[in-house]
């Protein structure tokens, strides 16, 4: 990494601490010696999974997201608990949200959600060899599980019905690797 671009925190104050996020207001020293203020949202890691059904279609979940004031179409995903491995978290989320476990779960990539203001990183996986389980969503989680072909999902990205970044990244990866994962 180029050190000539690095900012250094001079002082920081925690101005909010909630169940999911913490917010710091920090004074930083800039590379040219000047200073600036930064707002930093600290968030747990996330884990997301593109789960491929035996027929090659892909599981999605629809749920209302209050920050967006919209029902979003996403892949199964959730927060990684403190000390939990992202792989274990994504397996837990698949069972909770779509009622599946998988014989094969492969890491695709990790992605910074919005590095301009938050340290949240999401780990993205692809799962095949799905085995039915009992779905057990969190008590405050209301979902609709649906299956789509990759072409349907690509159309939904193109027309704006899917706009969740982690979901788009995983779908594009899956599209490039259809044959490898038996995706239709």
Q: Which of 103, 139, 141, 179 is catalytic?
A: 139
Judged by DSSP in three states, 98 sits in: helix
Under a CB-based contact definition with an 8 Å cutoff, are residues 96 and 135 in contact? yes
CB burial string 54-93: b at 16+ within 10 A, e below: eeebbbbbeeeeeeeeeebbbbbbbbbeeeeebbebbbbb
Active site residue 7: no
Alpha carbons 89 and 73: distance in angstroms, whole number: 20
Residues tagged active-site: 139
């Amino acid at each position: 990494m180029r050190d000539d671009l690095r900012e250094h925190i001079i002082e920081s104050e925690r101005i909010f601490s909630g169940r999911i996020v913490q917010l710091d207001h920090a004074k930083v020293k800039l590379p040219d010696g000047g200073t600036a203020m930064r707002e930093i949202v600290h968030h747990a890691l996330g884990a997301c999974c593109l789960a491929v059904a035996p027929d090659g279609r892909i599981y999605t979940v629809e749920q209302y997201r209050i920050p967006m004031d919209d029902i979003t179409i996403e892949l199964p995903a959730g927060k990684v608990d403190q000390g939990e491995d992202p792989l274990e978290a994504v397996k837990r989320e698949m069972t909770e949200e779509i009622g599946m476990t998988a014989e094969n779960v492969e890491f695709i990539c990790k992605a910074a959600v919005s590095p301009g203001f938050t340290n949240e990183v999401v780990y993205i996986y692809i799962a095949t060899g799905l085995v039915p389980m009992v779905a057990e969503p969190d008590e405050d989680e209301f979902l609709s599980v649906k299956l789509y072909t990759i072409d349907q999902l690509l159309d939904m990205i193109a027309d704006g019905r899917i706009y969740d970044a982690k979901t788009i990244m995983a779908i594009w990866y899956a599209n490039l690797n259809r044959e490898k994962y038996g995706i239709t």
